[in-house]
Structure 1
């Protein structure tokens, strides 16, 4: 037990300071950058909109499920397909939290190359869709309401609540899974298992790609997995493929993108991600020094007493604070809200994965004619709608957002 626990603690000590800083920056972005700012400049089907969408998306800490409703809302407000695809590719691969975690665990070169690869791949995918797509009509529906101006202190409070509340609720479980898998890999995977990737980089990348595309991996949770696999012989290029393809794709995202943007756009979206991952993976393995891409020894050697004793106090304190905040966030995330109401006003919805999904559904349903209030229970997967409204319009709006109406 101790043999497994100590590598896990070592990973946590290395990542927690960067994660706390990343969650704080995520909250500040959410509180101080207006939501409509991201859609105002993205309506044209030109390369400028593609570039701006990628620039907006790279620092945003949205996972591959959270980015789908955000991108859908952008499309509804008039963003072009090219800009929407650029945003979809750039956003889930990075984020300030995952970039900082990458720097702490994999080193500065990886932390620089990762957002650059995401940005370039987003430009390629967006330009590809812009060149092929001819249908530029925005999705039907009302535009988002203007956000009221709030006092500075209220925004600061909102930043803390979002960063250490909603963000932790959304990616906390995947981050824990990533850490646990990394610890398991450290102990159970033979040291020479991925030695073939050093001799045959393309084969290693192909294996990683086939495993990454259908699975859900958040940008931050994939970092410790990549580090553990690299220490088992996985080439840096193949690790980069994991860091790009894992967060950018999963079966849920693939299904929703196909439904909202169309099958042709979905194929171009996947082609851009695959081409970008392979291209940058090969560049890392063949053009750059291997010594640039070595996971920090503390990431898996934290089990040695000498190293554990040498861990700075502020890293240990960061780990304790992070665990407490994460436990509180996950408790709130999975605690079902007890709503005493008429069940005919409750709509069961499948596909809501995070607080971005919740906010998107609440915002869209509140704009349906006759609706006076909407309350979404994320844990239960339900929406409680009050008012005098047409239920078929509620169902149509749910499906238009890309979610499934269950009953």
Structure 2
């Protein structure tokens, strides 16, 4: 029971805000045209960088899902600076994680987090434009627009995206974050980081060391940050975790370096690290410490005190049900093989529904292709038709994924 209590408190505290965030995410996805993003991002100037950052901040994309989306924008003519700005701003935050941040870490963190994402995106995108202005633009070949349309109304599509696709994408990371937070609450001694409170840079360096190569989604990082703060981690170092963890991981760094170049990668990583440390130091030295105390529910979780509202309980039950459904949906495959001409390819790096949609959209544009189906769990793509293997490989690698040949 000692471990279950903090897990339940964090789940009940976050669940109502997560449900609201998933709904808002679905509405943005269904009602904001995808072409709108690329239309205003083509010029290598500060305006395109700023628009890319403003587009990216509310979008609920993780650091794996943002890669194919950004590569698609690049193919449609977005400048390198705009793409870098989008890559920095988007995974750090989103409407779902902003709501969850408010529920667990309070209003100041919920305000500062998207502001920090916006500022670092502006700095990173502007730097990329400056560093690459002498390079040939080298925009990837522009493909004809191919919006994926689902049956039914837009509102139904919004509900499907928010409460099915998104939960399938980030559900395991959210659960992992809650489990890690519970383990920290139990295993890490109280005030473990208190002895380093007078060395905030050391706190931040340790956090960066672990968060840059690892994958942490914007929402899943929240309970981890809250648990570490209760063990004495400074609020500034917690912000570093909330910024660097979701925005960077080894896979995304390799793809950015390969597709956009080393200069873009250096500016991207430098903006995130410098922005995270800068905002972290500002929190620790310039703002009142009383602003950055995790919610009373989180404190109660550490001391075994209970108190749930019916809204929290109902939201938690629905969320757990959706998580269970997403798990079943992800690993139960429909056997839809027919006598049609189908080619099966292995593709590495696909891990979410944004990856799936990007691959399906890109391959559907190849000559002779009439249907495409991605199996995320198996890492395979079924293509109906007779496309050239070289064309399939090019389309896959332009999105930043790894082509592994036919099955």
Q: Which residue of 2 aligns with 1:276?
A: 275
- Residues 171, 147 of structure 1: CA spacing in aligned structure 2 closer, same or farther, 3 A cutoff? closer
- Residues 396, 147 of structure 1: CA spacing in aligned structure 2 closer, same or farther, 3 A cutoff? closer
Q: Which residue of 2 aligns with 1:50?
A: 49
Query: TM-score, normalised on structure 1?
Result: 0.96
Q: Distance in 1 between matches of 2:142 and 2:36?
A: 19
Q: Which residue of 1 aligns with 2:386?
A: 388
- Residues 261, 143 of structure 1: CA spacing in aligned structure 2 closer, same or farther, 3 A cutoff? farther
Asked if 2 retains the 8 angstrom alpha-carbon contact of 1:209 and 1:245, the reply is yes
Q: Distance in 1 between matches of 2:385 and 2:342?
A: 12
The Cα shift of 1:144 comes to 2.4
Q: Which residue of 1 aligns with 2:399?
A: 401
Question: What RMSD, in angstroms, separates the aligned Cα atoms of the two structures?
Answer: 1.7
Q: Which residue of 2 aligns with 1:216?
A: 215
Q: Distance in 1 between matches of 2:351 and 2:147?
A: 25
The Cα shift of 1:188 comes to 0.4
- Residues 320, 304 of structure 1: CA spacing in aligned structure 2 closer, same or farther, 3 A cutoff? farther
Q: Higher mean Cα deviation, 316-325 or 106-115?
A: 316-325
Structure 2 unmatched ranges of 5 or more: none
Asked if 2 retains the 8 angstrom alpha-carbon contact of 1:335 and 1:379, the reply is no
Q: Give 1:180-191 correspondences, 5 Å limit.
A: 180-191=179-190
Per-residue Cα deviation, 1:375-403 (whole angstroms, up to 9, x for no partner): 11111111111113212211221122211
Asked if 2 retains the 8 angstrom alpha-carbon contact of 1:10 and 1:303, the reply is no
**Runs of 4+ with deviation above 6 angstroms:** none
Q: Which residue of 2 aligns with 1:366?
A: 364
The Cα shift of 1:304 comes to 5.6
Q: Give 1:243-258 correspondences, 5 Å limit.
A: 243-258=242-257
Q: Which residue of 2 aligns with 1:314?
A: 311
Q: Higher mean Cα deviation, 316-325 or 386-395?
A: 386-395
- Asked if 1:91 corresponds to 2:86, the answer is no
Q: Which residue of 2 aligns with 1:354?
A: 352
Secondary structure of the corresponding residue to residue 153 of structure 2:
helix
The Cα shift of 1:192 comes to 2.7
Q: Higher mean Cα deviation, 238-247 or 331-340?
A: 331-340
The Cα shift of 1:233 comes to 0.2
The Cα shift of 1:301 comes to 2.1
Q: Which residue of 1 aligns with 2:27?
A: 28
Asked if 1 retains the 8 angstrom alpha-carbon contact of 2:40 and 2:51, the reply is yes
Asked if 1 retains the 8 angstrom alpha-carbon contact of 2:123 and 2:271, the reply is yes
Q: Which residue of 1 aligns with 2:77?
A: 78
Q: Which residue of 2 aligns with 1:117?
A: 116
Secondary structure of the corresponding residue to residue 383 of structure 2:
strand
The Cα shift of 1:340 comes to 2.8
- Asked if 1:334 corresponds to 2:335, the answer is no
Q: Which residue of 1 aligns with 2:193?
A: 194
Query: TM-score, normalised on structure 2?
Result: 0.96
Per-residue Cα deviation, 1:251-310 (whole angstroms, up to 9, x for no partner): 1111111111011111111011011011000000000000000001212523766x42x3
Asked if 1 retains the 8 angstrom alpha-carbon contact of 2:146 and 2:365, the reply is no
Q: Which residue of 2 aligns with 1:18?
A: 17
Aligned residues: 402
Asked if 2 retains the 8 angstrom alpha-carbon contact of 1:11 and 1:300, the reply is no
Secondary structure of the corresponding residue to residue 322 of structure 1:
helix
The Cα shift of 1:146 comes to 5.4
Secondary structure of the corresponding residue to residue 352 of structure 1:
coil
The Cα shift of 1:137 comes to 3.0
Q: Distance in 1 between matches of 2:332 and 2:279?
A: 42
